[in-house]
Amino acid sequence: MKRHLIIIILILFIKQFVFAQDNDILLTIDNKNITKTEFERIYKKNNNIKISETVNKKSLDEYLELFINFKLKVFEAEKVGFDTAQSFITELNGYRSQLAKPYLTDKKVEEELLQEAYNRTKFDVRVSHILIKVNPDASPKDTLIAYDKAIQARNKLLKGAEFGKVALANSEDPSVKINEGNLGYFTAFQMVYPFESAAYNTPVGEISMPARTRFGYHILKVIDKKLDLGKVKVAHIMIALPKRAKQEVKKIAKKKIFDIRDSITEGADFISMVKKYSDDKASAKNNGELAFFGTGKMVPEFEKAAFSLKNIGDVSKPIQTAFGWHIIKLIDKKQNVSYEELKPTLKNKISRDARGFKGREAVLERIKKEYSYKLNTKRLNEFYKLIDKSIFDAHWDVNKASSLNKALFVIGDTAFNQQDFAKFISKFQIQRKPSSIKGYVKDMYARYSNKKVLEYGKNHLEDKYPDFKYLMKEYHDGILLFKLTDELVWSKAVQDTLGLEKFYQEHKENYMWGERYNGSIYYCANNKIQKKLQKKLKSKKKIKNKMFLDKFNKKNKESLRIVNGTFSNGENKIIDFYVWNKGDYKENDKEFILLHGNKIEPAYKKLNEAKGLITADYQTYLEKQWTENLRKIYKITINRNVLYSIK
């Protein structure tokens, strides 16, 4: 009895569930069901109906007919196999990649990075550093050795040692011999991201903890931080001076640049002096002008002189750099722009910068959590024994891992095995400096797993985001509709000359010329020419306009101007006024006009005279015929109760 009761309850539940499902089916085309949800979304989207607004039956009925026509064409395209064509798949995948981007972006992290970058662009920092090199995939032992060296150097600085001396003794940056570690001023995006962050996060005058970049560990001392001065555009005159120039050569160069400056002060043209004297031939071709630049783009002496010029047109005193002597003229200045103005540029730079990985990492972590990512660490560790030093010469044989065929990690309903990872390593091995095998494997696994996790998340966007699912459906159907309509309607109408001719002959009455005027408009320079021409027009049976032009324009080419043609009513204001008494055209004192021609009675337009319009109408005709035929082929069932339940 109890079992019987449970069965009855289950049957009732199933019936209720099926009824609820049937209720949601708006229409059926052959055996394909289309839900209320799909129709309602497109209906409200294309009619700009807001949630608070109501709809009416007439509007629903009218739009449903259009929707059915649309679906019939899509189903027909699928029936003939358009959705399996490689060109269609490629095009749809291209759209999918673009549409997926917002769903694979962490908005919060992206906005934080944008704000951080903008705030940093408002300041320039001057930094000295010490570099202790270590490879990104170095072994824990080598990494610790490098870290300890960096700490030792830092401790010396904290005890009061001179930065330049400590840098010369410890830094592995080749430029240390020239600058003693002093990098000058820079701003956001001019250094690798971890280095930039260490610079902006360390207070002025203090020594940072070791900051890790792909080059190794850095110890930074922030010397100064100042508001960014914007960008300047300058022109310059340069007198080149070799590094090892003799004293006499130096004296000659110095005298020459000061003589040039005196000439400019006395009124000599700056551009003329550039072309005559500047040794920078590249900029001399452009009047000495250089592109806009900001902090950190020029040598310090040049940069300081350029930014010290206050007014457009100001010219500096001669300044010396490692390249020689310069006279600088200020051409233009750009101040810092607002966040909204700079945002697109920042976004583009972040996408190409290491900080862009922060947003990607946030997305990867989200996908891993959503789909229960799980790594089998033990199976990853097995690679440490099978990968050897040959990997650094790009000679590692993937067959060495032939025994590894178990699942390496799982995400969602998909497992990725060891063999897939081994092939990935083999495919992307390149010649490189030997380092830690363990570090190398970890790095390659991070690349491999991140790629697969991101692909998995991307491939399952439809399951998680209904909006994306419907958007992809719209693109899928839209591309199919376009391709089939182009084949059966648009291109056919253009290429089917016999069909177009037949359609034209059957509908000629739709393509009529109204009453027209065929003749010439004569624009005479004065009343005298007008009268002479009028006599000629009356006396000549056969009018030759070229003869009139040759005669009246012999001395002055502006004496007579002629416009010939066939003019429809409303096409020319002069014809309208004199022939059809329309408008209020009045001749001015420089216009003396004559008309010569005759009216043409209404007539059929020739096919070539209205081909664009006729072709468009033929396309409409073909589409109508096609739609009517599809409605006969497919069985259509509409559930009006579901339709009218749309609010």
In DSSP terms, 233 is beta-bridged to 332
Name the least confident of 197-201, 226-230, 236-240: 226-230
The residue that leads in pLDDT, 508 or 20, is: 508
User: What pLDDT shows up at residue 336?
Assistant: 76
How far lies 553's CA from each of 147, 471, 547, in Å? 93, 67, 10
User: What pLDDT shows up at residue 3?
Assistant: 41
Distance (Å, whole) CA 397 – CA 399: 5
- Same CATH topology for 123-227 and 231-334: the answer is yes
User: What pLDDT shows up at residue 50?
Assistant: 60
What percent of the chain is predicted at pLDDT more than 70?
95
User: What pLDDT shows up at residue 13?
Assistant: 34
pLDDT in tens, 314-369: 999 999 999 999 999 999 998 878 899 899 999 999 988 888 888 899 999 999 99
pLDDT band at 23 (very low <50, low <70, confident <90, very high): low
Question: CB within 8 A of 498, min separation 6: which ones?
Answer: none
User: What pLDDT shows up at residue 49?
Assistant: 66
The pLDDT of 518-542, averaged and rounded, is 91
pLDDT in tens, 605-615: 999 999 999 99
Question: CB within 8 A of 398, min separation 6: which ones?
Answer: 422, 423, 425, 426
User: What pLDDT shows up at residue 10?
Assistant: 34
The pLDDT of 16-27, averaged and rounded, is 58
User: What pLDDT shows up at residue 20?
Assistant: 39
pLDDT in tens, 590-610: 779 999 999 999 999 999 999
Domain 231-334 has CATH 3.10.50.40: yes
CB atoms within 10 A of CB 359: 21
pLDDT at 45 over 50: yes
The pLDDT of 541-561, averaged and rounded, is 91
The pLDDT of 572-588, averaged and rounded, is 87
The pLDDT of 214-232, averaged and rounded, is 93
pLDDT in tens, 85-111: 999 999 999 999 999 999 998 999 999
pLDDT at 300 over 90: no
Task: Kindly write down the DSSP assignment for every residue of 26-77, as one continuous string.
Answer: EEEETTEEEEHHHHHHHHHHHTT--TT----HHHHHHHHHHHHHHHHHHHHH
pLDDT at 573 over 60: yes
User: What pLDDT shows up at residue 554?
Assistant: 93
pLDDT at 58 over 70: yes
User: What pLDDT shows up at residue 453?
Assistant: 97
In three-state secondary structure terms, 638 is strand
The residue that leads in pLDDT, 16 or 219, is: 219
Highest mean pLDDT out of 48-52, 136-140, 559-563: 559-563
User: What pLDDT shows up at residue 51?
Assistant: 52
pLDDT band at 647 (very low <50, low <70, confident <90, very high): confident
The pLDDT of 239-268, averaged and rounded, is 93
Distance (Å, whole) CA 245 – CA 508: 90
Q: Can you give the pTM of this predicted structure? A: 0.67
Q: Supply the CATH classification number for the domain 123-227.
A: 3.10.50.40
The pLDDT of 395-400, averaged and rounded, is 96
In DSSP terms, 568 is beta-bridged to 516
User: What pLDDT shows up at residue 542?
Assistant: 83
pLDDT band at 53 (very low <50, low <70, confident <90, very high): low
Domain boundaries, the chain: 123-227, 231-334, 372-452, 512-604
Whole-number average pLDDT of the chain: 91
pLDDT at 11 over 60: no
pLDDT at 273 over 50: yes
User: What pLDDT shows up at residue 5?
Assistant: 40
